[in-house]
């Protein structure tokens, strides 16, 4: 059976049909399949112009996915490492921070469910939540007896 070469545009659309991508991810994944970097850049420009490739949409989608388990610091690191511009990261984080306390409480409830009885337990719970990228303020508020319910 002869394997047919998939055109670059088809390959890009198939990738976007599966999930949102950043421009940097698309360029990295498509570059081995083209003759020149200019060819990839032209294709990506066309995808952006049609609204099929959107850094904002990717950031929002990724933040929604990560936000269920992780805090704003983790989301910021993930988006930055994937090549999302600083401006888009900041806009996305503003929305994520609005729900951080709620997500922090949910993560704490799933993992622990009861307030710490000792300093060691408190430290363990704080480290867990901080490791998930939640802000110190959100962690403190969740672990206060009056706000944990």
Q: Which token pair is 25? A: 């991810």
More confident residue, 3 or 98: 98
Number of other CB atoms surrounding residue 118 within 10 Å:
8
Residue 87: band (very low, low, confident or very high) from pLDDT cuts 50, 70, 90: very high
Domain spans of the chain, in order of start: 1-53, 100-143
Question: Does domain 1-53 correspond to CATH entry 1.10.150?
Answer: no
8-12, 42-46, 108-112, 144-148, range with the lowest pLDDT: 144-148
Residue 148: band (very low, low, confident or very high) from pLDDT cuts 50, 70, 90: very low
Helices in 68-99 by DSSP H: which ranges? 72-81, 86-98
Q: Which of 20, 113, 105, 22 is nearest to 69 (CA)?
A: 105
pLDDT at 110 over 90: yes
pLDDT at 88 over 80: yes
pLDDT at 37: 86
Q: Which of 92, 7, 85 is nearest to 48 (CA)?
A: 85
pLDDT at 147 over 50: no
pLDDT at 120 over 60: yes
Question: Is 100-143 in the same CATH topology as 1-53?
Answer: yes
Mean pLDDT to the nearest integer, 88-98 = 92
Q: Tell me the average pLDDT of the chain.
A: 90
Q: Topology of 100-143 in CATH?
A: Arc Repressor Mutant, subunit A (1.10.10)
Q: Which of 133, 118, 138, 143 is nearest to 67 (CA)?
A: 133
Q: Which token pair is 147? A: 């706000």
Q: How far apart are CA 73 and CA 66, in angstroms?
A: 11
Q: How far apart are CA 35 and CA 41, in angstroms?
A: 12
Statement: the pTM of the whole predicted model exceeds 0.75? yes
Cβ proximity of 79 and 62 under 8 Å: yes
Mean pLDDT to the nearest integer, 74-78 = 95
Mean pLDDT to the nearest integer, 74-94 = 94
Name the helix (H) or strand (E) containing 27: helix 23-30
Cβ proximity of 116 and 125 under 8 Å: yes
Give the position of tokens 């991810």. Answer: 25
């Amino acid at each position: 059976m002869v394997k047919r070469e998939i055109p670059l545009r088809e390959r890009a659309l198939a990738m976007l049909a599966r999930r949102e991508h950043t421009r940097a991810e698309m360029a990295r994944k498509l570059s081995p399949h083209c003759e020149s970097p200019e060819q990839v850049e032209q294709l990506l420009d066309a995808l952006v112009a049609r609204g099929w490739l959107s850094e904002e949409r990717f950031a929002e989608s990724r933040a929604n996915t990560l936000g269920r388990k992780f805090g704003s610091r983790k989301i910021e690191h993930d988006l930055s490492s994937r090549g999302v511009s600083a401006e888009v990261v900041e806009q996305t984080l503003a929305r994520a921070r609005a729900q951080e306390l709620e997500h922090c409480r949910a993560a704490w409830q799933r993992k622990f469910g009861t307030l710490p009885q000792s300093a060691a337990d408190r430290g363990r719970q704080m480290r867990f939540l901080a490791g998930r990228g939640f802000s110190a303020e959100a962690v403190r508020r969740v672990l206060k007896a009056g706000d944990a319910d």
